[in-house]
Structure 1
Amino acid sequence: MTLQATPLRLATSAPDFEAAFKARLHWAADTDAAIEQRVADILADVQQRGDAAVLEYTRRFDGLEADSLAALALDPAELKAAFDALPDAQRNALEAAARRVRSYHEAQKKASGESWSYRDEDGTLLGQKVTPLDRVGIYVPGGKAAYPSSVLMNAIPAHVAGVGEIVMVVPTPRGEKNPLVLAAAHVAGVTRAFTIGGAQAVAALAYGTATVPAVDKITGPGNAYVAAAKRRVFGTVGIDMIAGPSEILVLADGSTPPDWVAMDLFSQAEHDELAQSILLCPDAAYIDAVQREIDRLLPAMPRREIIAASLNGRGALIHTRDMEEACAISNRIAPEPLEVSSREPQRWEPLLKHAGAIFLGAFTSESLGDYCAGPNHVLPTSGTARFSSPLGVYDFQKRSSLIEVSEAGARALGPIAAELAYGEGLQAHARAAELRLEGRP
């Protein structure tokens, strides 16, 4: 039987559009209760037994035998050796991608990551001090596939932010280390690395063990167990986000070659069966052409079974009344990446409010952003772009308010603070402000 990928066809003019649209978008983010309980047990065990628990789970889940957790540490020399051993084409591509990612995040730091202060008319200094986190942990997936790009996107902004120590964890099932991942760690400035993964790696980073140092924040995607573990350790450490399945939304006016758009839909669908790929377009004939290209191109794709399952289960080709309506629907979806595949992308960009990243023009494929364009590919999923931002330098910094009140300022501000404090019934607050009115020392 021929494998088929037939995304759901919808039209905004249809009377049942709203119900069908909402049903197709729905994704249950609730973690399975069995996974939650298993993760809770693993976290508690690692917190109690440290290295021994991490070793036990690494043997059980990754089939990786070691006498000690220290034996699973990756020496910086091994990372450099992996980099030196890469074929020239891979080494050059990795360095070029890293340069672009670093350049973008350095510009981001200059724009939003500097300390500042000013003095008001009373001589009081007010400002903000920006400091990097001391130590962060980055989780790099290593189960079904290897992701050197995840190393670059997590470690480089941390390095640019000035983080003192970057600790990488990456599962290596049966001890199979990916040279490109190790090389990326070398290029990106990873300080320490361990070949451990899963909830046990998250626990080791959050709580610390005799071998793995406790970190201040954990970033990076993983499976359901990793996501559940990150959710549970939040508060003990910071986290970047709870990531859902991969997504792509293509907003097309019908001017882009349909095979380009079909392949862009494939590029997210091939991640996993729950990934979501959606096309919004006011040209019904063009949507038909994209479907024909899907049919033509699918058989040649190595991950065609995953693509087909994704497009059949969660994909959609939506016919809109016009591009303005397409932009409005895009804002409702708030996609992870949004491609504006149009002759006039700058015309539509002002209408687009909610997206993790906006890719403008037919030549700007989302895959370029995944690897080497420069902006971060760790993006908010499942509609959270309505209130969340891509991973960046600011995720690895914290801000402290600076306040230095002059004597004149204390006289001006003291009565205000005292009046409000008495109103709240907090006499010590009020008196602390009033004492400064006496002008001592």
Structure 2
Amino acid sequence: MTVSTAIARLNAADPDFVRHLDHLLSWESVSDDAVNQRVLDIIKGVRERGDAALVEFTQRFDGVSANSIDDLILGRERLELALTRITPVQREALEKAANRVRMYHERQKQDSWQYTEADGTVLGQKVTPLDRAGLYVPGGKASYPSSVLMNAIPAKVAGVAEVVMVVPTPRGEVNELVLAAACIAGVDRVFTVGGAQAVAALAYGTESVPQVDKIVGPGNIYVATAKRHVFGQVGIDMIAGPSEILVVCDGQTDPDWIAMDLFSQAEHDEDAQAILVSPDAAFLDRVAASISKLLPTMERADIIEKSINGRGALIQVRDMQQAMDVANRIAPEHLELSVADPQAWLPHIRHAGAIFMGRHTSEALGDYCAGPNHVLPTSGTARFSSPLGVYDFQKRSSIIFCSEQGASELGHTASVLARGESLTAHARSAEYRILTQEKGN
């Protein structure tokens, strides 16, 4: 196998560094007009023809011989069968990962709360789980049982009554690991449909597919475009860009480890991004040598090569403080602090989806079994977004109870503000509750 690496080298001391960095980071996941129109047509078809459209699109796009929607439904017993078809080692790994993910997310649960003011007014917040969540899972040769765990378990921990999974089975190819993960995670219903048609079915419902309140899970450009279009009808988790890793290293970690950590994201696809930041120029050279040495040994060498050469970088900085500044500007999905004392630098990090602390904490552990969610904000959105979690499957309602005295007191304030906005009905509605003796004062 012939592979070559020409990973970009940047230096934060260069006058054009910021411009070069911004160009490297730029990513626009915009659907072209053809994709957009095709998705709109698919959504329209599902809304108008329901199950019949799902069957037709699944036959056309996935090459599945389905005569009716019944051929695209997997019952709970089929998920349990998948558990018997995977190896004991695989089952043990799935169950261990599921337990860790569940234990971590249990700590995220929020409870309702109230407090009572001196005049008897009660204020609070009622936390309620969503009724139903939809989980999109890529299918066929792609095997993402970890995504099933990461999406379904937080929903169940949150108290979601029903989790509905859609997973395509191109040419009838079923992934037993994915189905086994669904069984372990407590998925309630599975439909073997995918693409924009699956998103539309979850968003609007059909005769057989129930309408959900929120759709989560990764997918291709058609899935992402469909999620954009149905947002508002249902909630969505995010529109994810390519996977990213940023490693900040003080130069003391084994360069082979760092090279493999960069590969771990670059192997996802050609548009994935892997960046190393270090104040040690000689260490950057050693990592570059490790990349060249290890790349030919990788099964997905062609993908890694295109990712590394197209969107990767080795960045030299003045010192560790400047490394933190660069990390915050990038706001990466995954950030490895491969340094002697990661805890000391943690307060300096403001923007990152997940932070992996220390030389022994590879990002791969977080992808599968550490416990925190691996569904993370990409493309710099960690500036304002958070990992998927229990809170994404709960909603909050405000609670307001006014005593007679409280309504009278608040009525004065509301009246002034409402009349200031020329909303007379608002003002008079509040004024009706002002106690008579107060009105006369």
| TM-score normalised per structure 1 | 0.97
**Secondary structure of residue in 1 paired with 2:302:** helix
Aligned residues of 1:7 and 1:312 also touching (Cα < 8 A):
yes
Percent of paired sites with the same residue? 65
C-alpha separation in 2, matches of 1:265 and 1:425 = 60
| Post-superposition offset of 1:267 | 0.4
The residue type paired with residue 56 of structure 1 is E
**1:280-314 Cα deviation digits (max 9, x unpaired):** 01101111111111111111111000000100110
TM-aligned CA deviation for residue 144 of structure 1: 5.2
1:89 aligns to what?
Answer: 89
Deviation at 1:167, TM superposition (A): 0.2
Distance change in 2, residues 1:143/1:176 (3 Å) = closer
Shift of 1:219: 0.4
Letter in 2 for 1:22: D
Distance in 2 between residues matched to 1:12 and 1:258, nearest whole Å:
21
Task: State the 1:15 CA deviation.
Answer: 2.9
Q: What is the DSSP-based 3-state SS (H/G/I as helix, E as strand, rest coil) of the residue aligned with 1:108?
A: coil
Q: Is the CA contact 2:341–2:358 (under 8 Å) kept in the aligned structure 1?
A: yes
| Deviation readout 1:102-137 (Å, 9 max, x if unpaired) | 00000111xxx1100000111100000000000010
Q: Hey, what's the Cα distance between the residues in 2 that align with 1:85 and 1:178?
A: 10
1:251 equivalent in structure 2: 248
| More displaced stretch, 213-222 vs 69-78 | 69-78
DSSP-derived class of the 1:273 partner: coil
Tell me, yes or no, if structure 1 residue 80 matches structure 2 residue 86. no
Query: Within 5 Å, which residues of 2 pair with 1:86-165?
Result: 86-109=86-109, 113-143=110-140, 145-165=142-162
Aligned match of 1:384:
381
What are the Cα deviations for residues 50-108 of structure 1, in whole angstroms up to 9, with x where unaligned?
Answer: 11111111111111111111221111011011112321111110000000000000011
How do residues 396-415 of structure 1 correspond to structure 2 at under 5 angstroms? Answer: 396-415=393-412
Paired residues of 2:405 and 2:435 also in contact (CA < 8 A): no
Deviation track 1:397-436 (CA, whole Å, cap 9, x = no partner) reads: 0000001100110121111111211222222211211211
1:345 aligns with 2:342: yes
User: Which residue type is aligned with residue 45 of structure 2?
Assistant: D
- Deviation by residue 1:199-246 (Cα, 9 ceiling, x = unmatched): 000000001011111101000110111000000000000000000001
2:58 alignment partner in structure 1: 58
Residue 142 of structure 1 deviates from its aligned partner by: 1.6
User: Cα RMSD over matched residues?
Assistant: 1.2
Q: Which residue of 1 aligns with 2:314?
A: 317
For residues 423 and 21 of structure 1, the distance between their equivalents in structure 2, rounded to whole angstroms, comes to: 49
Equivalence for 1:31: 31
- Name the CA distance, whole Å, in 2 between partners of 1:174 and 1:239: 28
DSSP-derived class of the 2:107 partner:
helix
Letter in structure 2 aligned against 1:149? S
SS of residue matched to 2:251: coil
Q: State the partner residue of 2:198.
A: 201
- Residue in structure 1 matched with residue 369 of structure 2 by the alignment: 372
Distance 2:319 2:76 in 1: 55
1-structure distance, mates of 2:432, 2:220: 57
Q: Secondary structure at the match of 2:108?
A: helix
Q: Gapped runs of 5+ residues in structure 1?
A: none
Moved more, 26-35 or 177-186: 26-35
Count, aligned residues? 437
Q: Quick check: 2:250–2:338 contact (8 Å CA) kept in 1?
A: yes
CA distance, structure 2, for counterparts of residue 156 and residue 19 of structure 1: 41
Shift of 1:437: 2.1
**1:300 lines up with 2:297 in the alignment:** yes
**Counterpart of 2:135 in 1: which secondary structure?**
strand
**Counterpart residue number, 1:69:** 69
1:2 maps to 2
Contact 2:140 2:173 (8 Å CA) reproduced = no
Alpha-carbon offset, residue 16 of structure 1: 2.8
Distance 1:85 1:18 in 2: 52
**2:46 counterpart of 1:46:** yes
Which residue in the other structure is 1:15 paired with? Answer: 15
Q: Distance between the aligned counterparts of 1:248 and 1:172, measured in 2?
A: 30
Distance in 2 between residues matched to 1:278 and 1:33, nearest whole Å: 32
Paired residue type of 2:69: L
Note closer, same or farther for the CA distance 1:144–1:278 as it changes in structure 2 (3 Å cut): farther
- Deviation sequence 1:253-289 (CA, Å, 0-9, x none): 1111010110000000000000000000110111111
Are 2:140 and 2:174, in contact at CA under 8 Å, matched by a contact in 1?
no
| Distance in structure 2 (CA, Å) of the matches to 1:176 and 1:81 | 16
Q: Secondary structure at the match of 1:42?
A: helix
For residue 290 of structure 1, what is the aligned residue in structure 2? 287
* Contact kept? 2:168, 2:195, Cα under 8 Å: yes
Tell me the amino acid that sits aligned with residue 377 of structure 1.
H
Residue from 384, 392, 396 that aligns with 1:395: 392
In structure 2, what is the Cα distance between the partners aligned to 1:300 and 1:363? 22
CA distance in 1: counterparts of 2:436 and 2:169, whole angstroms: 66
The one-letter amino acid paired with 1:434 is E
For the Cα contact (< 8 Å) 1:6–1:291, is it kept in 2?
Answer: no
- 8 A Cα contact 2:141 2:175, kept in partner: no
Give the counterpart of 2:217 among 216, 220, 226: 220
CA distance in 2: counterparts of 1:269 and 1:158, whole angstroms: 29
Asked whether the 8 Å contact 2:133–2:213 carries over to 1, the reply is: yes
Match of 2:230 in 1: 233
Name the TM-score, length of structure 2 as normaliser: 0.97
User: Separation in 2 of the partners of 1:252 and 1:69?
Assistant: 53
Task: Give the residue type in structure 2 aligned to 1:329.
Answer: V
- Which residue of the partner structure matches residue 264 of structure 2? 267
